[in-house]
Structure 1
């Protein structure tokens, strides 16, 4: 009995120590700074993508006026309180729309380069949410990930390293290396956990669709002429079904593998090396 008791005592000790080490050890300021630059670039790309059709979508006579969106989303007919707010609900004149849009672009650019990093990250989050809530029918799987990452970025001191804020401090004689901090670690850990959860959700949701089971999902993505950037439909004449099957199953296998092995230091570089070209391969066939 003593051996069993000792085992569970050691197990509980290791679990608690691992939990505390994961969440409450100081986090690297440089890693958070790099994430700020990456997330800021993603937010900037997302906001700038609306530039060509801003008034077409959100103008006074646009395709998605506020009454149209509230009707399509069911908000107009709901008796429940509405918590999805957007600055763009209250503006539709072209001049005001463009003013808000320019502010959003500047905020995302400042977040990316690390200028007034904390304020810029908060404003960027609010602006991205404004676009998402204003036209949820234009969003996909990218926006939930982006908004979650921006939220966690607001928690940590993301401007302490790899930023203009850091450069300005160094010019004023404050040259000490940015120290690791608990807030930086919590911010990074929340990002890691959320990304793993998203990968699991994506993987399981694919298993609910028959095209992913029979290996035809990539072919169906290619066949959607309204969204693809490159027309690969001619490959259907070359008996390339095994390629499409392998391509389809590679996404499912990668998403499950990412969720399971991303915590392993040795597997992490391999997962990133495989994932980069795999996700890039979606761009020409989906337009994302």
Structure 2
């Protein structure tokens, strides 16, 4: 259960004065020796504070082990759109989920519960991001480019990535809660992981929801084609398998809308991601079938060009 951490993180984030350093202070208040990094990232429309939390596992690479490392990335444009909108915006749910996960994992270690694999958690903190036009509802913009965030968050140490993002401004997934994507790897949209579907059923107590992907959704921002949102953007910058965790709604909700965060939905998504991190570090959760992927490469070649901006 992460509801306390969701509420506490929300209280920290829902402020015009919030900074990456204030979030760091909150997390260090839970575990004073936590490995937390905060720094300013400057983009074409301003700046944001990058937040990185590294949580070592008992058999993780940080301790010289060989257990796989999972990345839990909170994707967003910003947590606020001030001064245009007052308060925490719907788009901020990805950051809220990531910060609550960091708080929970640190609290678990205080209580003697350690995962086997390392966990890398990252998001960025911006209470005054710009808005951006998008069909069918407005998006939150960002002071920095998506490629900049990818460079900061996506690293060779990650063996798999869960990318969580508010995904309510569409007509293709119409349920309250969260949905996952098929696994994306190096330009391929692969079958949805059975292990992830199992964990989703267990944590929600419901049948799983999977949202559809078009090929253009897994290409980089900046190529002037429509994307469902930024939830799969990490897949453009890594060879590791990536799965999107979309926090969803039955109706279309603009990313810049305030009063649209549902704590129970964010908690459910965070709890699912925590269980995936536990299982992945133990080698009990596969994001894709390696043999089947190798077969696809043999038959059809690599599709890494879809990770680029392509050719004009």
Q: TM-score, normalised by structure 1?
A: 0.25
| Bigger strand fraction | 2
Answer with 1 or 2: which has the greater Rg. Answer: 1
| Bigger helix fraction | 1
